[in-house]
């Protein structure tokens, strides 16, 4: 089943997204969400993000914190950098541990921008963002995000833009410290990039690269190049397809894709 695209306009989005994603009519698109017309949302949400400006410095709660606030789940996410301008930056974690009081004051004053650990990125870099991680995506980046199905973001700092901040909730769920998660690096083909707790994720050129598919349930395939065929449909860059692990799945010779389950 090829998932439906939902185009999301953002002030930090782009107007020069390639035609592979369909006619965008000059809109400033920051995100493309992929979802199915099911009564209960699928547990994994795949997005493309396109940035021309920096995103806010923000944080997401974990499951327990979100449920205490009346929401179904928290949000942990994964980023795979598809394209990046020279010198493009991603901020993950802080240069040193910050207390709640320090994080609140730094977010209020703008010092948080200086305290973030800004990392240069290039195509093929990937990062898993656990709940509680203070993070931001810089300008000039296109990436695929795979996440828990939750739309819950607490902004800590937004560079003076006229958007709501969520300092009390954001500080309460933050673990402001240096980023050390092992689920990060530069992707090699046939590599497992993420192993739980909410999903596994592989970067592959063929389903034979995934040695242990689940015996039941869905898998999400996001092509980055070439074509992937399954269930009588063909998916290419700009598409996301959900199918059964038992389905016949064929990759073209030039195909590369992210596979999640």
Whole-number Å distance between alpha carbons of 116 and 95: 6
Instruction: Tell me if residue 155 is catalytic.
Output: yes
Whole-number Å distance between alpha carbons of 61 and 68: 10
Neighbours of 71 (CB within 10 A): 15
Whole-number Å distance between alpha carbons of 183 and 43: 20
Residue 103 φ then ψ, to 5°: -65, -40
Residue 47 φ then ψ, to 5°: -135, 155
Secondary structure element (H or E) that encloses residue 198, with its range: none
Which single residue is written with the structure tokens 């959900």?
Answer: 242
Show Cβ contacts of residue 220 under 8 Å, excluding neighbours closer than 6 positions. 44, 46, 146, 240, 241, 242, 258, 259, 260, 261
- Strand, helix or coil for residue 124: coil
Q: Among residues 155, 161, 163, 183, which one is catalytic? A: 155
Residue 222 φ then ψ, to 5°: -120, 100
Whole-number Å distance between alpha carbons of 18 and 16: 6
User: Would you name the residues annotated as active-site residues?
Assistant: 155
């Amino acid at each position: 089943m090829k998932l439906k695209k939902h185009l999301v306009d953002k002030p930090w989005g782009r107007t020069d997204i390639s035609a592979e994603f369909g006619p965008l009519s000059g809109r400033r698109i920051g995100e493309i969400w992929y979802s199915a017309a099911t009564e209960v949302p699928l547990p994994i949400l795949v997005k493309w993000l396109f940035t021309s400006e920096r995103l806010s410095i923000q944080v997401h709660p974990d499951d327990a914190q979100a449920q205490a606030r009346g929401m179904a789940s928290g949000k942990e996410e994964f980023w795979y950098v598809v394209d990046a301008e020279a010198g493009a930056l991603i901020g993950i974690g802080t240069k040193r541990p910050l207390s709640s009081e320090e994080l609140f004051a730094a977010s209020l004053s703008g010092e948080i921008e200086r305290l973030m650990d800004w990392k240069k990125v290039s195509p093929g870099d990937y990062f898993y963002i656990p709940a509680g991680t203070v993070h931001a995506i810089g300008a000039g980046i296109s990436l695929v995000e795979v996440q828990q199905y939750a739309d819950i973001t607490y902004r800590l700092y937004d560079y003076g833009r006229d958007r709501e901040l969520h300092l009390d909730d954001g500080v309460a769920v933050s673990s402001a410290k240096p980023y050390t998660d092992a689920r990060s690096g530069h992707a090699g083909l046939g590599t497992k990039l993420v192993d739980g707790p909410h999903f596994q994720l592989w970067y592959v050129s063929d389903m034979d690269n995934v040695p242990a598919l689940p015996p039941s349930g869905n898998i999400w395939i996001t092509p980055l190049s070439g074509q992937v065929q399954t269930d009588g449909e063909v998916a290419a860059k700009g598409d996301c397809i959900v199918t059964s692990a038992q389905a016949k799945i064929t990759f073209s010779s030039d195909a590369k894709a992210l596979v999640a389950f």
